[in-house]
């Protein structure tokens, strides 16, 4: 029992993988012998000191001081890891900066998240951190002013890797609120630590959360070391061949160990005075770095390419490497895998089958477009289609709405007789496909919108400017949902060959539009 009026303490708890405890101890117990715990506890503590260094802002103050030598500042940040063995599990509590010593492959990646999912009702969510692997592979954070339902958050479980969740705890032992990612963060009386760890271990082992969060495990972290090696070997082949670079993206990795820091710039390689500071993470920057070092693009060289993540004051909250900054989709042995923030994930088999089945069921349009010529750009293809009998090219013919403050494309190619709108894209990767899907969704929202006719009036102006003599009564009379066929056109790839998350987006858009009564088709040319 907690003592009366006992203050609560913020705790950050990790769970070591059973097969990685030796690796953890070999790496960290060489720095410290470990301080034994009191009777009744099985474990030890490792203390750490960071070097005393002056803050980076000191140099900003000195030039305006009468006596610059009078300002001499330095500080150190002590930390500790508390290792506790309980009920067959090895927990690690991190204090201060010590969490930085923990390596990803030592940890149960889903520990905190699973405990949180088993302890937070979907209607009492406060924050969700996502890696949106479909929409340009970016990180999104949503926080509600008070506990809310998961439906109030912009979460798509077939698009997003849910990095962490925070909410109101339904388990008294975990306090009022908890946050789960790789680690479990909560605030409880320290005297309740044994109960907290025991309960956390049982909640990690339980899959009870699936009743309330049925879609959360569509994409799961991989623990199988042999499989990871196979995936990295395949990724290595694709990097060396140049195939990977066409679909590879780079982004600031999600650090699931602690709250992410804001990153403003990046340095590839050694951080020396002459090092180039880059405002963005780009694959081209990594390739240029390799060329300077006369190295080839490989997984090993990616892991050996330091990337310094700097904040606005040129301080380095944390360091990473190129591999940990990659976002990549990999097909291997008829399964789909994701590399994100240095962690490999596997797409669940039943989810994979569901998406593939949905994609395969999309019918082609009544009237097909001509075959795309390899090397032909999207504008060139659309212009060629527009010269065919019955077709009109609408590509780059922008609708200016709201005093020219908003600019839209109606579609890429139009066929009036069959009332078909064609939206065309070269689907090189999932992020490129997102543009195609968003254009289709936006046209459906605006063209068929009840009430306001501003969009349709702008479309009339475009038709009269670029296609004089073509009747516009089909625009002036508001169309009904289902009057037109919305056709997504892939230049060079059929739907089965699209990147997996492009398939997810396509399936989701089709479901969304069909619920609204629209006819949706897909065409590979």
432 and 402 in one domain? yes
**For the ranges 204-213, 233-242, 355-364, the one whose mean pLDDT is highest:** 233-242
* Residue at which a domain ends, from 176, 198, 221: 221
* Residue at which a domain ends, from 174, 199, 221: 221
330 and 406 in one domain? no
193 and 127 in one domain? yes
292 and 192 in one domain? no
316 and 207 in one domain? no
H-only helix segments in 324-453? 349-360, 378-386, 430-447
503 and 396 in one domain? yes
What percentage of the chain carries pLDDT values higher than 70?
86
Between 354 and 235, whose confidence is greater? Answer: 235
- Going by pLDDT thresholds of 50, 70 and 90, the confidence category of residue 407 is confident
For the ranges 187-191, 244-248, 389-393, 462-466, the lowest mean pLDDT is seen at: 244-248
* Position 431 in a domain: yes
Averaged over 186-204, what is the pLDDT? 95
pLDDT tops 70 at residue 139: no
For the ranges 59-68, 154-163, 256-265, 307-316, the lowest mean pLDDT is seen at: 256-265
The β-bridge relationship of strands 8-15 and 89-95 is antiparallel
Helices 500-515 and 349-360 pack at an angle, to 10 degrees, of 60
In terms of C-beta density within 10 A (0-12 exposed, 13-18 middle, 19 or more buried), how is residue 467 classed?
A: middle
Q: Classify residue 365 by its DSSP letter.
A: P
* Position 511 in a domain: yes
* Position 118 in a domain: yes
CA distance 126 to 380: 48
For the ranges 241-245, 284-288, 313-317, the lowest mean pLDDT is seen at: 313-317
* Position 319 in a domain: yes
* Position 10 in a domain: no
For the ranges 252-261, 283-292, 338-347, the lowest mean pLDDT is seen at: 252-261
pLDDT tops 60 at residue 87: yes
Averaged over 476-504, what is the pLDDT? 88
- Going by pLDDT thresholds of 50, 70 and 90, the confidence category of residue 273 is low
pLDDT tops 80 at residue 348: yes
CB 218 within 8 A of CB 50: no
CB 522 within 8 A of CB 487: yes
* Residue at which a domain ends, from 347, 381, 405: 347
- Going by pLDDT thresholds of 50, 70 and 90, the confidence category of residue 137 is low
173 and 38 in one domain? no
What percentage of the chain carries pLDDT values higher than 90?
44
- Phi and psi angles of residue 98, each rounded to the nearest 5 degrees, phi first: -65, -20
366 and 495 in one domain? yes
- Phi and psi angles of residue 394, each rounded to the nearest 5 degrees, phi first: -115, 5
For the ranges 269-283, 325-339, 464-478, the lowest mean pLDDT is seen at: 269-283
406 and 460 in one domain? yes
pLDDT score for 5: 74
Stated pTM of the model: 0.72
The percent of the chain in helix, strand and coil, each rounded to the nearest 5, is 35, 30, 40
pLDDT tops 60 at residue 255: no
* Position 199 in a domain: yes
CA distance 124 to 150: 8
Averaged over 359-381, what is the pLDDT? 93
* Position 352 in a domain: no
Which residue range is the domain that position 128 belongs to? 108-221
242 and 195 in one domain? no
H-only helix segments in 137-220? 193-205
* Position 300 in a domain: yes
- Going by pLDDT thresholds of 50, 70 and 90, the confidence category of residue 129 is confident
112 and 102 in one domain? no
Q: Residues with Cβ < 8 Å from 249, sequence gap 6 or more?
A: 136, 137, 283, 326, 327, 328, 429, 431
Q: Record the tokens describing residue 156, joined without a space.
A: 């798509």
- Going by pLDDT thresholds of 50, 70 and 90, the confidence category of residue 96 is confident
pLDDT tops 60 at residue 24: yes
pLDDT score for 195: 96
Structurally, how many domains does the chain consist of?
A: 4
285 and 389 in one domain? no
Between 424 and 267, whose confidence is greater? Answer: 424
For 230-288, the three-class secondary structure string (H helix, E strand, C coil) is HHHHHHHHHHHHCCHHHCCEECCCCCCCCCCCCCCEEEECCCCCCCCEECCCCHHHHHH
- Going by pLDDT thresholds of 50, 70 and 90, the confidence category of residue 310 is confident
């Amino acid at each position: 029992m907690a003592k009366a009026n006992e203050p609560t303490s913020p705790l950050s708890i990790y769970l070591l993988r059973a097969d990685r405890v030796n690796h953890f101890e070999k790496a960290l117990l060489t720095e410290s012998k470990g301080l034994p715990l009191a009777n009744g506890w099985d474990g030890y503590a490792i203390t750490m000191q960071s070097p005393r260094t002056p803050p980076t802002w000191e140099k900003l103050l000195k030039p305006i001081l009468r006596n610059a030598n009078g300002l001499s500042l330095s500080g150190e940040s002590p930390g500790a890891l508390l290792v506790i063995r309980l009920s067959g599990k090895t927990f690690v509590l991190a204090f201060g900066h010590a969490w930085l010593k923990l390596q990803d492959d030592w940890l149960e990646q889903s520990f905190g998240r699973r405990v949180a999912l088993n302890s937070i009702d979907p209607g009492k969510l406060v924050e969700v951190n996502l890696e949106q692997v479909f929409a340009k592979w970016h990180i999104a954070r949503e926080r509600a002013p008070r506990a809310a339902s998961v439906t109030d958050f912009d979460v798509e479980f077939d698009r997003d890797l849910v990095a962490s969740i925070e909410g109101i705890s339904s388990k008294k032992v975990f306090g009022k609120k908890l946050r789960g990612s790789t680690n479990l963060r909560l605030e409880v009386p320290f005297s309740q630590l044994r109960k907290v760890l025991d309960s956390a271990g049982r909640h990690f082992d339980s899959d009870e959360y699936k009743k309330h969060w049925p879609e959360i495990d569509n994409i799961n972290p991989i623990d199988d070391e042999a499989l990871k090696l196979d995936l990295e070997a395949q990724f290595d082949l694709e990097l060396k061949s140049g195939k990977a670079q066409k679909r590879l993206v780079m982004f600031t990795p999600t650090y699931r160990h602690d709250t992410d820091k804001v990153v403003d710039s990046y340095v590839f390689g050694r951080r020396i005075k002459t090092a180039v500071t880059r405002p963005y993470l780009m694959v081209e920057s990594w390739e240029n770095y390799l060329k300077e070092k006369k190295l080839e693009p490989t997984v090993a060289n990616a892991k050996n390419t330091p990337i310094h993540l700097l904040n606005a004051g040129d301080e380095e909250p944390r360091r990473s490497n190129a591999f940990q900054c990659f976002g990549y989709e990999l097909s291997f042995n008829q399964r789909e895998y994701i590399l994100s923030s240095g962690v490999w994930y596997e797409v669940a088999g039943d989810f994979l089958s569901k998406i593939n089945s949905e994609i395969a069921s999309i019918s082609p349009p009544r009237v097909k477009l001509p075959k795309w010529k390899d090397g032909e750009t999207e504008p060139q293809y659309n212009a060629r289609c527009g010269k065919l009998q019955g077709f009109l090219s609408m590509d780059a013919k922008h609708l200016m709405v709201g005093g020219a403050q908003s600019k839209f494309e109606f579609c890429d190619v139009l066929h009036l007789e069959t009332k078909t709108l064609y939206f065309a894209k070269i689907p090189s990767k999932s992020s490129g496909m997102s543009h195609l899907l968003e254009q289709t969704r936006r046209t459906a929202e605006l063209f068929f919108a009840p009430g306001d006719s501003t969009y349709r009036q702008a479309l009339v102006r475009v038709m009269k400017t670029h296609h004089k003599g073509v009747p516009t009564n089909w625009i002036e009379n508001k169309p009904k949902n289902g009057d037109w066929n919305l056709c997504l056109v892939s230049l060079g790839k059929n739907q089965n060959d699209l990147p997996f998350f492009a398939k997810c987006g396509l399936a989701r858009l089709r479901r969304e539009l069909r619920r609204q009564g629209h006819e949706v088709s897909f065409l590979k040319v």
